[in-house]
Amino acid sequence: MTWQQIDQKLAGNLAPNVYNLWISPLKCSRFDNELIELSGPDRFFCSWVANNLMADIRAALAGHVNEGARISFKIAPDASSCPADNPVLNTGSKQLCLPSISKTPTFVRTLNPGYVFDEFVVGDSNEVAHSACNSLANGSDDYGRCLYISASTGLGKSHLTHAVAHHVLAHNPRARLNYLSAQQLTSEMVRAIQAKKMEDFKRKFQNSDILVLEDLQSLTGRAKTQEELSSIFDILLESGKTIIFTGGQSPKEIKGLETGVRSRMSSGLVTTIGDPDLETKAKIVIKKAQRLDLNLSEELTWYLAEQVKGDMRQIKSAIVGLKAKSSIRRKVADLDMLKEVLANIICQAKTITPEDIRDYIASQFKLNPTDLLSKSRKRAIAFPRQISMYFSRKYTKSALSEIGRAFNRDHSTVVHSIRVVSEAMNNDNSVQGQIKMLDEKLYEKFLG
């Protein structure tokens, strides 16, 4: 028995369109009782055949090779994704709807066209995350099939996930890619429940070849969403599909996650993107400046790299501002000009104080700031006071004792207040929503 004979059996057993698309392009490089080695045009082609037609291939082999014979797939070194001699695949510019593939549409959030691998600056703080994303985008399982990236805002996790999506869409258009935030997924699930279409919702994500899910921390307190996600994750992980998670914290640090969800998120590689070192930041400055055709001296490059802390988006903002000032004034960018630009970008975050936060939160609750300084323990006053302390700890560099003095309290009261607010957010969705809304308004007023 040879592979050619098995191929003929499959041609008789399968629908013609399925055979022509998925079996005919396969080439056999080894056929014996121990191993049948098949090669296909690309990784996703081989993966699809292995996941969907393996039972048919084994049925055709039954009685002709040992039952335990292994079937493996590899990429043909000289093959293209659409062989010229295959009339079904060779469709010119016309795209066919592939048979036997779920018609569930791919969902991809709006992608930043600049967030591609070539534009990502690799350094010690992000090299593991970059390498893993590059590997998964190319269909490799060198780092496993499940990846979790944690990072603060502006350190590159979205750049990497956008880069994965860009690469997959460009090189593997047949892949079913679902890319969305946890908040978007929750909203979609709510709509599915209201429309009584939960089975369609589950099927859409269970059929993913690649699932990219951002901002996992927003799942806190959403028990129903977590329950449904657990079953989706199980199916994807068991079938060897690719899952990429991102969050502002690592899975173990996100409060309010079900143990099962936390375990699944941590089932593969978990890596953190930290603040880049000075040299990496300088490379980011150079690349961003080149994109805007702005010539920066070495002095300006290093000065900007030294000044920006945390969110690397500030670098682009500074360069855009510097380019604008330089063009308007028709002068070469200099240090004084750069300092002017940075004053509008960086200094705002340094001016917010516990008193600013106290007065603003009081106004949001229709209170007088002096109410938060009083000894009243009424919840209508105590909870806004605790929220103010919570945000003071989050957005200022003040010591606990300094925060306490802004409310006529000591540091132990501040610690207690932070704990009360954190627990309330984990246990009550309405409180969580209220805090999130206040957080966004506060950030926009003082830090945006």
Q: Is residue 426 part of a domain?
A: yes
421 in the same domain as 399: yes
169 in the same domain as 150: yes
Q: Which long-range contacts (CB under 8 A, 24 or more apart) does 281-286 make?
A: 281/305, 281/306, 281/308, 281/312, 281/315, 283/121, 283/123, 284/121, 284/312, 284/315, 285/315, 285/319
293 in the same domain as 263: no
Query: Among 103, 104, 110, 105, which residue's Cα sits nearest to residue 214?
Result: 110
CATH of the domain at 182: 3.40.50.300
Q: How confident is the model at residue 98 (pLDDT cuts 50, 70, 90)?
A: very low
What pLDDT, on a 0 to 100 scale, did the predictor assign at position 78?
59
Q: Is the pTM of this model over 0.75?
A: no
CA distances from 304 to 105, 123, 126, 194, 334 (A): 44, 18, 20, 51, 11
37 in the same domain as 140: no
Q: Is residue 83 part of a domain?
A: no
pLDDT digits (tens, 9 = 90+) for 175-208: 889 998 888 888 888 898 999 988 888 888 888 8
Q: Which two tokens stand for residue 379?
A: 């919840």
- The number of domains in the chain is 4
Please tell me the distance from the alpha carbon of residue 166 to that of residue 148, in angstroms, as a whole number: 19
Measured in whole angstroms, how far is the alpha carbon of residue 68 from the centre of its chain?
40
Q: Is residue 381 part of a domain?
A: yes
Write the CB contacts of 389 (distance below 8 Å, at least 6 apart in sequence): 354, 403, 404, 407, 409, 413, 414, 417, 418, 421
What pLDDT, on a 0 to 100 scale, did the predictor assign at position 109?
63
Q: For the chain, give the number of residues.
A: 448
- Residue 331: pLDDT above 70? yes
Residue ranges making up the domain that contains 69: 3-75
Please tell me the distance from the alpha carbon of residue 279 to that of residue 290, in angstroms, as a whole number: 17
114 in the same domain as 29: no
Please tell me the distance from the alpha carbon of residue 259 to that of residue 244, in angstroms, as a whole number: 19
Residues 139, 123, 151, CA angle at the centre, nearest 5°?
A: 75
Strand arrangement of the beta sheet that strand 177-181 belongs to: 107-108, 177-181, 210-214, 242-247, 146-151, 269-273
Helix, strand or coil, per DSSP, at residue 178: strand
Secondary structure of 247-310 in the HEC alphabet? ECCCHHHCCCCCHHHHHHHCCCEEEEECCCCHHHHHHHHHHHHHHCCCCCCHHHHHHHHHHCCC
What pLDDT, on a 0 to 100 scale, did the predictor assign at position 162?
94
pLDDT digits (tens, 9 = 90+) for 101-142: 444 446 676 788 889 999 999 999 999 999 999 999 998 888
Average pLDDT in the 139-162 region?
A: 91
Helix, strand or coil, per DSSP, at residue 71: strand
What pLDDT, on a 0 to 100 scale, did the predictor assign at position 124?
92
Measured in whole angstroms, how far is the alpha carbon of residue 52 from the centre of its chain?
28
Domain end: 248, 273, 298, which one? 273
Query: Among 280, 281, 337, 277, which residue's Cα sits nearest to residue 305?
Result: 281
Count other C-beta atoms under 10 Å from residue 85's C-beta. Answer: 8
422 in the same domain as 320: no
Query: Among 254, 265, 186, which residue's Cα sits nearest to residue 222?
Result: 186
Do 196 and 65 form a contact (C-beta atoms < 8 A)?
A: no
What pLDDT, on a 0 to 100 scale, did the predictor assign at position 322?
92
- Residue 94: pLDDT above 80? no
Q: Which two tokens stand for residue 153?
A: 């805002």
Q: Is residue 86 part of a domain?
A: no
pLDDT digits (tens, 9 = 90+) for 238-278: 888 899 999 988 888 888 888 888 888 888 999 999 989 99
Domain end: 312, 332, 350, which one? 350
119 in the same domain as 265: yes
What pLDDT, on a 0 to 100 scale, did the predictor assign at position 133?
95
Percent of the chain as helix, strand, coil, to the nearest 5: 55, 10, 35
CATH of the domain at 411: 1.10.1750.10
Domain end: 323, 350, 377, which one? 350
Q: Is residue 81 part of a domain?
A: no
pLDDT digits (tens, 9 = 90+) for 372-385: 999 999 999 999 99
Please tell me the distance from the alpha carbon of residue 140 to that of residue 74, in angstroms, as a whole number: 12
Q: Is residue 100 part of a domain?
A: no
What pLDDT, on a 0 to 100 scale, did the predictor assign at position 106?
61
Q: Is residue 89 part of a domain?
A: no
430 in the same domain as 380: yes
282 in the same domain as 259: no
Q: Is residue 11 part of a domain?
A: yes
Please tell me the distance from the alpha carbon of residue 304 to that of residue 14, in angstroms, as a whole number: 63
Which residue do the tokens 């090669």 mark?
A: 39
- Residue 155: pLDDT above 80? yes
324 in the same domain as 212: no
CATH of the domain at 333: 1.10.8.60
Query: Looking at 188-268, which runs of residues are DSSP E strands?
Result: 210-214, 242-247
251 in the same domain as 113: yes
139 in the same domain as 25: no
What pLDDT, on a 0 to 100 scale, did the predictor assign at position 104?
43
